[in-house]
Structure 1
């Protein structure tokens, strides 16, 4: 038989026991725990939220009762009492990118055991769309927002932070309700190019990111600083713009060959661009690293499994997500926002070798 209740449809069958015949066990309540432990319900509540001043024996009795009865406090109900939705909004730029996937894994682990759920939206590297998504999250009464990179300016972020706490990556801000974590992209690029220079390379091409991206600009600055320090002239023909995606890395590598300028090494502004560049080199019969050395930036999980494994600059993507989450929860709880992520580091694998 089929019964309709509003928008939901429940289907039953006459075969086997009916719903009324099936024994049901109701979940344990706070009152049940109080009775088992021999204390008042308010005492159980205060022990759960950490405000109770009780004897060790009484606390032990309550915790034992909770364990025996498998009592699980209703996190949503507790949040509502505090005026919270128990949700965190997360703004990514590309949900299909392994860069954001690794950071989201850190966010997810950072939320474990907190009672918070996440709502994920995408800004698609568009400032207007990004701002609209933040307004959508605010309308849904999220308790805070984690903004992973993005195109909106700092003033706009600070304006939104006046409504809900925001922790952002890729920018250096710090107020009572806003905190930014910015990696030293310039230094990371400097490490990558200096590594190639130390291997004897003097003609080093660069596949950059988009010109309107601050991370890309910082990595270009690191590339040029390393060359200047080594006394190597900067050849604009060896700098080709990409957009941080695989296809652009492949096209950029083809354009480098079209210039006719000789080069023995390539630094790609991110790992995805390096993957595309590697494919272009393969199709041209150019061996890596025998003929050309290749360096990426990010150290995505797949970079250790390319052919050959990619030398790259490691960004602590997972750590960034986890630390940003902990920082946001601190702000939500009225505590000082703080956190520090590990520095960038060079990971040498098999796509670079000393110039013969």
Structure 2
């Protein structure tokens, strides 16, 4: 029986040093794509199978990262996780995904579970935990979090300007001539939702329009809340020509309600969402929305975490929010 291929065999086959092969396998190499591909091709040809557990024991690493999402059924997190998955390609790292269910105590419990499983670092996608609690956990393992502004040697956080995004959506509707614009809020205790409400109010104020509290309806970021909010607006006989929903899922619910009532979008009522989920380009009609760089957030968070794990400085430059105009808005 032939002896198993070794790291030295791979290095000879690829024409690189053994240390280069090792650094490519553990995700610390700074090499060209051509050299990386040559090493991966040599691994395939030689049948080399790196012993990740042995590598981990030697370095005190598990080569796994933990990911805390809030709702594993949400397409919002699906797109971000796709970025995380692509960010882990060719790094030798695997991920363990758990859900915090938008509950600070459950998030903390899930992080403790991940730490007990010896993950090398954690990506926290949104959540309700206080920054101080995140920083405490980061003393044990590096953490990168979305939806919060953090920067220490072991923790990095980045957040998008939700108020600006909401302002963009409202400016679009106002420029189309809409003045009676309803708003479907997100959860009352959600920071992103509060900032989007501020953006809604700011755009109206700048246009010299007083916000009508009867046009602001509480929601919860889910489809059913959009449907119920639109039903409330119609049942209370509020006059409006446009609806801005705090996220795309709520906008889907609003659209369904209007459809059932025989109200045409955008002929009778314009509709704008927030997130630009993959399905929003395929609704009927396609949804005008604010695009969050969800995939980029996942990929950048992953790259940043791997740098922190390796003791390197990390910073996150996230693409800005942008308005995506499709077919659910029109001029009055």
When normalised by structure 1's length, the TM-score is 0.85
Q: Quick check: 1:348 aligned with 2:321?
A: no
C-alpha deviations, 1:129-175, integer Å up to 9, x for none?
Answer: 11100100011010000000001110110111011000000001111
- Tell me the residue number matched to 1:3: none
Tell me the CA shift for residue 73 of structure 1: 2.9
Secondary structure of the structure 1 residue equivalent to 2:150: coil
- Tell me the residue number matched to 1:326: 303
Tell me the CA shift for residue 67 of structure 1: 6.7
Secondary structure of the structure 2 residue equivalent to 1:346: strand
Question: What are structure 1's unaligned runs of at least 5 residues?
Answer: 1-23, 38-42, 52-58
Paired positions, count: 318
What is the aligned counterpart of 1:48 among 18, 21, 43?
Answer: 21
Change (3 A) 1:242 1:50: closer
C-alpha deviations, 1:199-242, integer Å up to 9, x for none?
Answer: 00000000000110000000000000000000011100100010
- Tell me the residue number matched to 1:286: 263
C-alpha deviations, 1:281-320, integer Å up to 9, x for none?
Answer: 0000000000000000000000000000000000010000
In the alignment, is the contact (CA less than 8 A) between 1:169 and 1:181 conserved in 2?
A: yes
Tell me the CA shift for residue 256 of structure 1: 1.2
When normalised by structure 2's length, the TM-score is 0.91
**For the aligned residues, what is the CA RMSD?**
2.2
Question: What are structure 2's unaligned runs of at least 5 residues?
Answer: 25-34
Change (3 A) 1:256 1:29: same
Counterpart-to-counterpart distance in 2, 1:210 and 1:268: 12
Counterpart-to-counterpart distance in 2, 1:118 and 1:252: 38
Q: Quick check: 1:220 aligned with 2:197?
A: yes
Counterpart-to-counterpart distance in 2, 1:137 and 1:33: 33
Change (3 A) 1:240 1:50: closer
Secondary structure of the structure 2 residue equivalent to 1:49: helix
In the alignment, is the contact (CA less than 8 A) between 1:30 and 1:44 conserved in 2?
A: no
Counterpart-to-counterpart distance in 2, 1:353 and 1:181: 34
Counterpart-to-counterpart distance in 1, 2:46 and 2:60: 28
**Larger RCO: Structure 1 or Structure 2 (Cα < 8 Å, ≥ 6 residues apart)?**
2
